[in-house]
Chains A and B, each alone.
Chain A
């Protein structure tokens, strides 16, 4: 395989690459972001300030980088996958060391122009690194336990660091991402059974490391009505807002729960609640439907790639996107505990918006370079 590395490689011109970009996906992303702007406009009681306008600026700022990420040679991303992971890891450590306390958790590094949330970057870094790792593991070795140690470490180190910040939601998300990558990478199913058993043993120990507020959130999740004015307030108000929305909702700008401030964090984590309150079941399902189309797009792109790296990367990003959507919406509906995970492309927040857009850039990159074959060292092969 390696002998044929440089033979007959077809170079893709810029025009080819631009043609190869899935513009339908780009439009879909823009539509979802547009819904987000409208909802941020509503969250601010019908003004662009302070959220909608800034979110628009971020979208505009991230749009061109997304396309740039899409057209840079996929082998470049393959080669730098570990580096990107390493940089993300350093940044996560840096928040732990000198991040400042925001929202009760150490999550941000203030870079002046943007408050960087490295744990979100890590979600992309982890997918990239694991895609590269599984791409390189020889098929015959995939069943070996020793081959499982690097991906488990690559997953658990950031999970542990993020948990320590403490950011339960992102940690859950990273853990699930890592597991999905291992699953797609071909790790034997019995390993997952073993892992689950190990987690079962580790859970009581992990419980001791949870912060009080995280424990409270778990308790609250189990019985939110127990303390409707205390810890259960968020979820109770969110359910009231959702339920009172009914089939068609209360109308744009007319959500009483959101506009009278009963719903907390309406511009960030609970923005889906606001959509479902103002546009009802129909509006909520339309948005979820758009997300389903995005994920379907991502699966189609990934599965058409000829390289394992491309497939893994595409599916990893799709899974990551799904996890964001699921964790956020399940949380606001009271299906899972309240954890701080944004609704992708809609929630107000700089890093989330930018990493999500760059993630889609990578997904498009997989699509653009679907015929590029990648050796274990990163050279291309002609398909």
Chain B
């Protein structure tokens, strides 16, 4: 062996040692990295591994029911059956859907949705073929299920309104959560979750909603549930009790169906409870929770009779003569008139160059307060208004709930307008004209009000207290009570003046010559008092007045007068209030006394027969109502990474 050879061997040995050293350094780096990952950062990665593995799913709580004052459900949950298919369990999805389509109707849109979803979702995620199965359809599927692998029937809950269209404006409806309504509450992000969109469903949405339950499941990387770790049941939504009387509501709906477009509200003047509230025409709230078709939506939103609007709270009309009690009280309180102040009515009233007509062309002759109200003499109130002035009328009107929302506990209430001099100047820059006061004296001009305001006015007239109507009864179902103390503060109006005005309103209905005498209730124990109103929608020109004002059906529907009636009963100890506004005078085209008063008569008669404010509830009705069932959990969520 040569020396060179030997040198080379030594070089190799040296370099092998270097190599080993390099390997040791790299090996050390590996060990250090493992120490860093597995010891130093262990907690962080352990948490990440758990987050990977454990998926918390929300369980939707069943929505609380809405009950009437006797416990009758107005909104409930009903099981909704749907047929689902798990793509991975069926050999051929298209074929399976075809087979289902032979048994039940499957629309082309549903078919497209299934074929689209199967591309986007994991094969183990069940796809809904069709929801809202009838019993018969369900039976057909169940019989065929052995031949249809991967097909099953799932039960969900859907909002149900047993009274259908009858209370839809009061109750509102539930529908899918829109992006704007997301608050960060994960419950709202559940695909099948519905929230209240209007009416009581919206106003009481939070208590009705309840609290979500959770289910902890272990999932694999594809989102498939491997096992359930823990389940925490949710808190079912609370039942909400309304002051409404479902049976009375049903009666009012039926009674009102004779007119095209109207609103009617019945109040308990003592408690402010809304006993019935109907706006017609209406809509079917169930269609909103199942999903509205575009055609139906188009129809509802373009109907000139505004079926989607609750006209009781959002219909704004000139109150017409129903406003006269307020004018009379303002004048009496101000001392502008006395009960014996007499005004001559020749059928018209002149102020400067302007002439204002009485509804009775030939005039009423000499009028005092009682007859002015009873016969609804316009000239009497023109003069009264002129004497008292707009500002005091406005102040009195606001005391009676006009000019701003009365505060009914559902969303959407409008305030109407009550003009005064300051407001007029600020709003238009034009000074208030005396003629406008005269027109305001008969509830026309810029005076507007909603039906709920008219009912509130009547409730305040008969109690002398600042009654605020309400739908929701925080105290729950009615309990038998003899307590007849009103929870509302006094208005501070001289009871003598109130009695005089009420006496006038008694005369309207119960005395011969009263405008609504034809609509009186013959049973003296149930007799009602009230005030009619006919609100002009169009201007009557001098030429037309010359040739005779066109009446009722001679005018297109949209231009006809509104017919109003505000009433209370029984007349000697008033408890129940009913206000009716028939838009554009109804079919017959008559005024308030002819069209609206008979509705009030029938509604108040029925209300007194039922006497919902004092009747002892029958517990049996409440108890047969099945308890709300828990919603099945939404079992699959979006895929995780």
Contact = CB atoms under 8 A, between A and B. Distances in A.
- A and B bind: yes
21 contacts: A139-B7, A140-B4, A142-B8, A183-B15, A183-B18, A183-B19, A240-B45, A242-B45, A244-B49, A244-B50, A247-B38, A260-B221, A261-B221, A280-B38, A285-B31, A295-B23, A311-B9, A315-B19, A326-B27, A334-B33, A335-B30
A261 B46 contact: no
A209 B222 CA distance: 35
A180 B19 contact: yes
A285 to B, nearest CB: 6
Interface of B: 4-5, 7-9, 11-13, 15-16, 18-20, 23, 26-27, 29-31, 33-35, 37-39, 41-42, 44-46, 48-50, 52-53, 218-222, 226, 641
User: Which residue, A139, A284, A285, has most C-beta atoms of chain B within 10 A?
Assistant: A139
Contacts of B48: 240, 243-244
A81 interface: no
Interface string A242-256: 111111000000001
What 7 A-B pairs come out closest when comparing CB atoms? A243-B45, A244-B49, A260-B220, A261-B221, A229-B641, A281-B38, A139-B4
Interface of A, secondary structure class, is helix
Contacts of B15: 183-184, 186
A295 B38 CA distance: 25
A288 B27 contact: yes
Contacts of A183: 15, 18-19
Nearest to A281: B38
Interface of A: 139-140, 142, 180, 183-186, 228-229, 233, 237, 239-247, 256-257, 260-262, 276, 280-281, 284-285, 288, 292, 295, 299, 302-303, 308, 311-312, 315, 319, 322, 326, 329-330, 333-335
Nearest to B4: A139
A241 B49 contact: yes
Nearest to B222: A261
A315 B17 CA distance: 11
User: Which residue, B20, B33, B37, has most C-beta atoms of chain A within 10 A?
Assistant: B37
Given A295-B23, A315-B12, 11 more contacts: A140-B4, A241-B49, A243-B46, A256-B53, A260-B53, A276-B38, A284-B38, A288-B27, A292-B27, A319-B23, A326-B27
Given A256-B52, A281-B38, A311-B12, A330 B219 contact: no
Interface of B, secondary structure class, is helix
User: Which residue, A244, A247, A302, A326, has most C-beta atoms of chain B within 10 A?
Assistant: A244
A183 to B, nearest CB: 6
Contacts of A276: 34, 38
Contact of B16 (A139, A256, A303): A303
Contact of A333 (B19, B33, B44, B52): B33
User: Which residue, A186, A247, A326, A333, has most C-beta atoms of chain B within 10 A?
Assistant: A333
A262 B30 contact: no
Contacts of A262: 49, 52-53, 220-221
B26 A186 contact: no
Contacts of B49: 240-241, 243-244, 256-257, 262
Given A299-B20, A333-B33, A186 B45 contact: no
B218 A260 contact: yes
Contacts of B50: 244, 256
Nearest to A292: B27
Contacts of A245: 38, 42
Nearest to A185: B12
Contacts of B41: 243
